Structures are given as C-alpha cells and as structure tokens.
Amino acid sequence: MKELSNIADNLKLLGDKTRLAILTLLKEREWCVCEFVEIFDMSQPAISQHLRKLKAQGIVKEDKRGQWVYYSLHIEDKPYIQAVLDQMPDSKTILSQLNKSQINIVCE
Amino acid sequence: MKELSNIADNLKLLGDKTRLAILTLLKEREWCVCEFVEIFDMSQPAISQHLRKLKAQGIVKEDKRGQWVYYSLHIEDKPYIQAVLDQMPDSKTILSQLNKSQINIVCE
DNA sequence: ATAGTATATAAGCATATACTTATATTTGTG
DNA sequence: CACAAATATAAGTATATGCTTATATACTAT
C-alpha cells in the first residue's frame, strides 16, 4: 500500500492545468517534448521542467529516439491516477480548451 | 463538462496530505472540526483553513449544529474526485499512517 | 452577564511552485 | 568539423501555499 503522503505528492502534480493536460494527452499516445512546446503557450524549459517532475515521481517514462525524447504514461501501479485520467475528456476536448485560453490571452 | 483548469484546481486540493486524509475520512461519515483537530498534529486554525478551501470549491459542505460544525463530502458532481477517493484506503489505515508520522516526529 | 468551548478570520512568515532567460548538452547533417 | 535542432539544467523572480500566533465570533451553560 502506498503511503498517504506519496499519493498526495502524486496528486499534487495532477493539480496543475498544464501537467493535467499533458497526462490526459498521453492517454492517447506518446508525445515528444517539441509537440507539447507547440501546443502550450509556454517556453520549452517550462515544459521540460513539468516533464521532469512527472518523471521524478514515476508517472511518465521517457524514450530517447535520436534527437527526440518521447514521453508516455507509467501509471500501472497508480490506480488513483488511472481513475482520474479515466474521467478526463478526450484529447480533442483538451486541445480545444487550451486553444480557447490562448485566444483569451490574445483578446485581453 | 467541467473546465480543465477547474478540475486541476480541485485536484490541487487533493494534493495535500492533510486534506487528502480529511476527504478520505469523510468517505465514512461526517466529522466535526474538533475531531480533525485532535487527529492531526496541527493547530485548529490550520484545520479550519483547509476546510474552508475545500468548501470554497464545493468539495465539502458544512452543517452547523449548535456549537459544532460538521463537514461532509459534496462530490456528486465531481467524478474525478470520487474516483480518487474510491482508491483510497479505509479510515483505519489513514489514522494509523497519521499516528505513525506523529511518532516519527516525537522520535526525532 | 460572564465564562468556557468551538470555530473562523487576520496577519505574518518561511518555503514551495511555476514561470522566465541564459546556457549547457546531445544528436543529426552539411 | 561546424552548425542547427531538440532537450535539459541553472539561476532568478514573483506569486502561491501552509503553517503559526493573535484575535474575533458564535453558541452553551452557570
């Protein structure tokens, strides 16, 4: 049984809009860093740091292939994360919500 | 459909050991503030502030009865929180983990 | 009314978090 | 080798967070 504080630390990482979107997108397929950088309105180091945190807690795993690093989910042993992601909308919905917030920023 | 950022804000509140324990205990029954104050090694205002955050996001509801305020879960419309709490251990396990950490503090 | 108990709020503070920019590292290509 | 692209790391900073102590509020009982 995982420790309460361990579970809380995992869930804390899900409590960020960007990371929650990343994980939800990863339900569908693996993604490389540069794809995330294009999608999110944020610098490359910011994305890299989010992925590092997720990797540090074993929530994602990386696969270096040539110049690119592909990330995928690694939550087989974390049912509480699976349970959350099962409830998340599909990638298309996530992407449209990200776009909407970008438009909001432009309009302000 | 709830907004991505709304879900993330909810999950952020679950990403704290104390609040996650509170919510898990609330699966079993309603609790009053003073019970939480006894269980957790923390001041009464600290507990009160955690409950206020949970109430502000509609995750718990309160019921004032005389001198006491009883809190209970209000997550019927939040399947991703239900899904997490379904995966959490029972109250006995939570309480023993809290006690363990208190003993650790004493021993240091 | 006064005192005691339960809870909430306010203010302050130390630490954590999520970015930014600058720079380093790794890999592919001419 | 030199350069470009993809990614990671470092350092700095503004804001958020989770506690503390002090105080206010609400209810109970004598």
Is any atom of nucleic acid chain C found less than 7 Å from the CB of residue A63? no
pLDDT in tens, A31-68: 999 999 999 999 999 999 999 999 999 999 999 999 99
Instruction: Note the pLDDT of residue B107.
Output: 24
Instruction: Note the pLDDT of residue B98.
Output: 86
Q: How far is the CA of A9 from the C1' of C13 (A)?
A: 24
- Indicate the pLDDT class of residue B91, thresholds 50, 70 and 90: very high
Cα angle value A70/A74/A79 (rounded, 5°): 150
Alpha-carbon Rg for chain B, nearest whole angstrom, is 14
Instruction: Note the pLDDT of residue B2.
Output: 76
DSSP secondary structure letter of residue B89? P
Give the N- to C-terminal CA distance of chain B in Å, as an integer: 48
Instruction: Note the pLDDT of residue A98.
Output: 85
pLDDT at B39 over 90: yes
- The answer to whether A17 contacts B1, with C-beta atoms less than 8 Å apart, is no
Please state, in angstroms and rounded to a whole number, the distance separating the CA atoms of residues A36 and B75. 32
Closest chain B residue by Cα to residue A10: B15
In chain A, the domains with their CATH numbers are: 4-107 (1.10.10.10)
